A and B are shown apart, each in its own frame.
Chain A
């Protein structure tokens, strides 16, 4: 590519006509498309690179006669912006119009510094050493409330006299006092589904075995006896944790239905339809002689095939 330089003399086939005052770049190709020539006092002309025959260090040779150049319309500066005033990346990359490199001397103190790479790496190492000791405290700081012991206390949720029919899900709402970190104790509402089961349903749920509950260390805390006719299901759907309801289904009869992702369970908690990966979660339940129901409010991870207790 021809690289006409600023201040170069411009020669036509017959005579010198002036010098290069500016160059014009094509914004698409990023190449010089024109030179602007000051015509020794007769204004400026814009000359396409097609007219340029040859470029030397200090001169531009055109293949045109001077009269042809002079007859071109005057150069209109207002039709252009400078390369500083326009956002075209890499515009000047392949243009070398300035006469040589522009240099700035190094300060004296920088002249004999040998180990620049060493100093650069050393800077990184020190930065890393500053970051390293705070990474662990930050992680622990953020993790502090993540894991807590299980709460195995019994909660009163109501009286079984509320249950009128066997094998029908009845929702018991209860309030649970929560003490979370620095917050004052506050009450949240929760619910549990309790059924008075027929012997057939009990057999289906327990399959002849008592159901034992253990704490985090594996110590037994309660056993639901297979002959006690009351079953409590955690109100949390084992699919993704929504709250399910007891509903009449068109073909399946009375079922537990979760309105979120439409998991359907029978009265014994078994999955009949929908995406749930396991049966409803039975909770420890005890019923006093007067019919007062108490449960241990456990929560299990949703979405897993096996029960994983989280609360």
Chain B
């Protein structure tokens, strides 16, 4: 085998500058150049594509959420008597507070959209199949974390929207058989939402979930590198090999353009639709009609169905349906062992995906239409 350092042992044609000396000093001790080479020289079977940007974009969104979230904590106070006022202070008094808060708010929506795109893509490309089952499972755990992030963060401004979304969300968890009451009280820190709920959601949102997300995202990347990218589902080995390139530069270029696009999109939303709080949280909704965040609207509408009426119906809608869906997703790579990855040769997968999309779209639209009949 080649000596490890042969590639970097070129004869210098000039006196090394101070920067070069510092880099050489670090490289000698840390092996940075080799590490960088390994990071960048990852073969992408079939070549780089715009379709592959979502993973990197998600990492970017998360970093921006961490940055803006940390900044918000400089002013935010997680107590029932100050959470609302401190959030209003961020919006109205702190320079660019409205922008950072709105960026954080819309960033969470962007995260859900990209997670959704990322998962759909893996599903349609058949990339969850052997040998990438573990990658898929860790991805599902990350999906759960992203949703929990959205749910816990929603309470923190302590306005009416926050209060009622949390109240109803926790009531849904309460419908879990046997342990539901415990889970609900554990999350709320009591029988009704209050200071203890805010403290718990805050700790989840700023400590536990970020730590879990970083650990699992690291594992996700590691598993991705071990298993290697799946590549396109069409083409012979030779065709794929002929088009293969490395992660750098073409894919990184596409990724950074994707990130810039998402950044501009989130900024635009923050500018055009900055966060405006409703009244301070209190157990009297007044004229407010409680509603969850837009990406939960379809589920909200689903729970209005007669099918999910009564205690048993509620168990079906609030527990059995989401749990069954997640169990199916977890079991997917173990049920579907057919190595065929071409989505056009997997009719059940294609039809299922389309059906789910149609249900989500229809029920979201129905929820929006229903709004006007309520006033």
Contact = CB atoms under 8 A, between A and B. Distances in A.
B354 interface: no
A146 B1 contact: no
A9 to B, nearest CB: 18
Interface string B130-172: 0000000000000000000000000000000000100110011
Nearest to B191: A310
A147 B186 CA distance: 10
Contact of A305 (B80, B303, B306, B310): B310
B309 interface: yes
Contact of B189 (A145, A189, A241): A145
A148 B290 contact: no
B174 A261 contact: no
Given A87-B38, A243-B284, A311-B192, A303 B167 contact: no
B190 A240 contact: no
A87 B39 CA distance: 7
Contact of B196 (A145, A189, A259, A260): A145
Contact of A85 (B41, B182, B191, B309): B41
Interface stretch (A37-45, A67-75, A225-233, A269-277): A269-277
Contacts of A18: none
Contacts of B174: 301-303
Given A242-B168, A311-B191, A190 B284 contact: yes
B55 interface: no
A84 B284 contact: no
B283 A190 contact: yes
Interface in B301-323: 303-306, 308-311, 313-314, 317-318
Nearest to B39: A87
Contact of A303 (B6, B38, B171): B171
B79 to A, nearest CB: 7
A178 B281 CA distance: 14
Interface string A138-175: 00001101111000000000000000000000000100
Contacts of B228: 88-89
Interface in A181-202: 181, 183-184, 186, 188-191
B189 A88 contact: no
Contact of A82 (B7, B289, B313): B7
A284 interface: no
A303 B311 contact: yes
A271 B80 CA distance: 34
Given A22-B1, A275-B305, 13 more contacts: A86-B42, A87-B38, A87-B43, A87-B247, A180-B80, A190-B282, A241-B167, A241-B171, A242-B167, A260-B289, A260-B290, A276-B309, A303-B171
Interface of A: 6, 22, 27-28, 81-89, 97-98, 142-143, 145-148, 173, 178, 180-181, 183-184, 186, 188-191, 235-236, 239-243, 259-262, 274-277, 299, 301-305, 310-311
